[in-house]
Structure 1
Amino acid sequence: MEKSFSRSSKISQELQKKIAIIIQYFLRDPRFKTIITISEVIVSKDLSYAQVFVSCLEINNNLSIKKLLVLLNKASGYIRKLLCKKLKLRIIPNIVFYHDNSFLKGNRISLLLNQLTQKKILSNKA
C-alpha cells in the first residue's frame, strides 16, 4: 500500500506551522505590523533548502513587499535557530522567503468574472 504523505510533505507542513508561529510571536521588529501569512513551504528532496511563500493582507505605506521580503530573509538565520529548538530534525533547512501573489490574482479574476456576468445579465434584459 502506498503512503499518502511523504516525509518531505510532512516536514513542509510542520515547517509552515512553526514558521508562522515564529513570525507572529517571536519576531519583535516593529516594521512587521502587517499580518503575514505563510501560504506554502516547498522543501528540497534532501531537506536542506526550504522555499517559504508569504502573503500579506495589508501592506504599510512605509513598507513594501520587497522590503518585507528583505527583512524576512535577513531574519531567516534567527528563524532557523528557533526552528532548531522546536523541531527534532537532523538538518534544519536554509530558508528563503518569496512573495505569493496568488490571492491577489485570484481576487482579480473573480472580480473580472463578476463583471462579465453582470454585463451578460444586463444585456439579456435589454
Structure 2
Amino acid sequence: MAREFYRADRVADALRRELAQVIQKEIRDPRLCMVNVNDVEVSRDLTSAKVFVTFVGEDDPAKIKASMDVLSRAAGFLRSHMAKAIQMRSIPRLQFRYDETSVRGQQLSALIDKAVESDRSHHGSDVDSQDASQDDREDKE
C-alpha cells in the first residue's frame, strides 16, 4: 500500500525548501557559516517545527554554537519570511537543532575504513606466509 502524505509532511517539505533559500540570501551575520537544512519535522497540529541543520566544513564546537545562536535569534525573522512565501493560516514556530547524523556518519565511515585497512594488512601478511609455506612444500616435492 502506498504511503499517505499528510499535510504536516507537505508543510515540512515546503519549509525546508524555503528556509534553505532564505537563510542563504537574507541572513547577513559573519558568525553564521554555510548552512545546510537537512530536515524539517512539523508537529501534527502544525504549531512547531524542528529544523535540523548542519554547517559546511565546520568542526569547531564554538563556531557551531555561535551559528546555532544566530539561527535561533533569527527564528522570528525567518518565520515572517515563511508567512510571505507559504500560504498558510499560521506558520509553525521554528526550533533549530544541530544535526549530528552527518558527523556521526563520517566517524563511522572512518572507523570502517580503518577496520578494512587493518583487515587487509592482516590478510596480506597471512597470504605472504601461506605463499611461503606453499613454496616450501613445492620445493620438498
Q: TM-score, normalised on structure 1?
A: 0.91
1:105 and 2:104 matched: yes
Please name the residue that 2:11 is paired with.
11
- AA matched with 1:123: H
TM-score by length of 2: 0.82
Q: Distance in 2 between matches of 1:27 and 1:68?
A: 11
Deviations 1:80-125 (A, max 9, x none): 0111110001110000101001111001101110111111111111
CA distance in 1 between counterparts of 2:29 and 2:118 reads 47
How far apart, CA to CA, are the structure 2 residues paired with 1:64 and 1:31?
A: 7
- Structure 2: how far apart are the matches of 1:86 and 1:125? 59
Q: Which residue in the other structure is 2:84 paired with?
A: 85
User: Are residues 88 and 109 of structure 1, via their aligned partners in 2, closer, same or farther at CA, if it must alter by over 3 Å?
Assistant: same
Q: Greater share of helix residues, 1 or 2?
A: 2
Q: Name the residue aligned to 1:22.
A: 22
Contact 2:40 2:49 in 1 (8 A): yes
Higher Cα Rg, which structure: 2
In the alignment of these two chains, the number of paired residues is 125
1:35-85, CA deviations, whole angstroms, 9 ceiling, x for partnerless residues?
100011000111010000110122387x62112111111100000011111
Aligned-partner SS, 2:28: coil
Report the identity percentage: 28
Give the Cα–Cα distance (whole angstroms) in 1 for the partners of residues 54 and 3 of structure 2: 31
> What residue in structure 1 maps to residue 58 of structure 2?
59
Is residue 29–residue 70 contact of structure 2 (8 Å, CA) maintained in 1? no
- Alignment partner of 1:91: what SS? coil
Shift of 1:2: 5.8
Question: Per-residue deviation at 1:5?
Answer: 1.4
Tell me the alpha carbon deviations over residues 24-45 of structure 1, each in whole angstroms, 9 at most, x when there is no partner: 001122322x210001100011
CA contact (8 A) 2:34 2:56 kept: yes
Unaligned runs of 5+ in 1: none
